[in-house]
Amino acid sequence: MAIFGRKKSTPDEVEEVDVDEAPAAPEGQPGVDRDWDRPVDGPFDISERPDLSGRVDLGPLKIPAVKGMELRLDVEQGSNQVVGVTCTLAQSKIQLQAFAAPKSRGVWSEIRPQIVEGLVNAGGQAEVVDGVLGKEVVAQLPARTTDGRAVLQPARFLGVDGPRWFLRAVINGPAATSPQALPAIQTFVRLVVVDRGEEPRPPREVLHLSPPAEFVEEMNRRAAAAKAAKTAQASQRAADLPGAEPDEQQ
């Protein structure tokens, strides 16, 4: 597994950890041979899966640590808070965000129409379909190529209501459209564990993630290296200034 980066930074290699097996459940595949049952099939609440081995601890989200995966923390500009995590598996990307939700009801049924409306108004396309984890939004997002041409890029939105939390997953790349690539991403989502905490929160408030110790150490290392390089460059420029060299003895 490779971690971590902020936005477009290149991740660094760390110890590879194989994710544990898919959660124990009745025979058959959820959403295929039988109905999907979230408490049994995942994603899980921390009370349902207290054993977090084989996962990266991001505070409210515990992410499966898959060999070869790249993980990027998504940082909100201004607040500098970590509001999501984007994982790359093979050539597919999945962004995960956790939100607070009311105790009495879920929010996915309310959010789906808003996602569809927003995408259509922005010039994209979207429709609600039945998926393994319930209702999904299959979309075409408006985007531009490097040469400025307008294009539509496929994406898939998954939403899961849990005990006082809501998990949103946005899939890009092959898994957004390929029946062969999607199951691995679905299994990945099913292995996520959410730890909402007990403090009161307004509905739909994003749960800020906590950078792992490896991430903090790596950011500190990079900051120190950048500072040292800047100091060295400043010293070199000063040495190159006219008159910086001492006069030769006559």
Confidence grade of residue 215 (pLDDT, cut at 50, 70, 90): low
- Residue 221 CB contacts under 8 Å (≥ 6 apart), including other chains: none
- Enter the pTM of the model: 0.78
pLDDT of 3 above 70: no
pLDDT of 225: 78
pLDDT of 10: 34
Report the 10 Å Cβ neighbour count for 61: 24
pLDDT of 83 above 80: yes
Q: Is 27 helix (H, G, I), strand (E, B) or coil?
A: coil
pLDDT of 9: 37
d(CA 39, CA 34) in angstroms, rounded, equals 14
State mean pLDDT over 82-94. Answer: 95
pLDDT of 16: 40
Q: What is the mean pLDDT of the chain?
A: 84
pLDDT of 26: 72
d(CA 119, CA 154) in angstroms, rounded, equals 12
- Residue 2 CB contacts under 8 Å (≥ 6 apart), including other chains: 11, 12, 13, 14, 68, 69, 70, 71
Measured over the CA atoms of residue 190, residue 188, residue 137 and residue 73, the dihedral's sign is: positive
pLDDT of 235 above 80: no
pLDDT of 209: 96
Which tokens belong to 77? 């500009």
- Residue 189 CB contacts under 8 Å (≥ 6 apart), including other chains: 42, 43, 94, 96, 133, 158, 160, 167, 169
Which tokens belong to 101? 């939700």
Q: CA torsion, points 171, 173, 177, 182, in degrees to nearest 10?
A: -60
Answer yes or no: are the C-beta atoms of 99 and 168 closer than 8 Å: yes
Side chain identity at residue 50, one-letter code: P
Residue whose C-alpha is closest to residue 206's, from 70, 96, 105: 96
Confidence grade of residue 13 (pLDDT, cut at 50, 70, 90): very low
DSSP 151: E
Q: Is 162 helix (H, G, I), strand (E, B) or coil?
A: strand
Confidence grade of residue 78 (pLDDT, cut at 50, 70, 90): confident
pLDDT of 229: 79
pLDDT of 40 above 60: yes
- Region of 239 (left: φ > 0; alpha: ψ -120 to 50; beta: rest) is alpha
Q: Is 183 helix (H, G, I), strand (E, B) or coil?
A: helix
Confidence grade of residue 123 (pLDDT, cut at 50, 70, 90): very high
pLDDT of 61 above 80: yes
pLDDT of 216 above 70: no
Q: Enumerate the β-bridge partners of residue 141.
A: 153
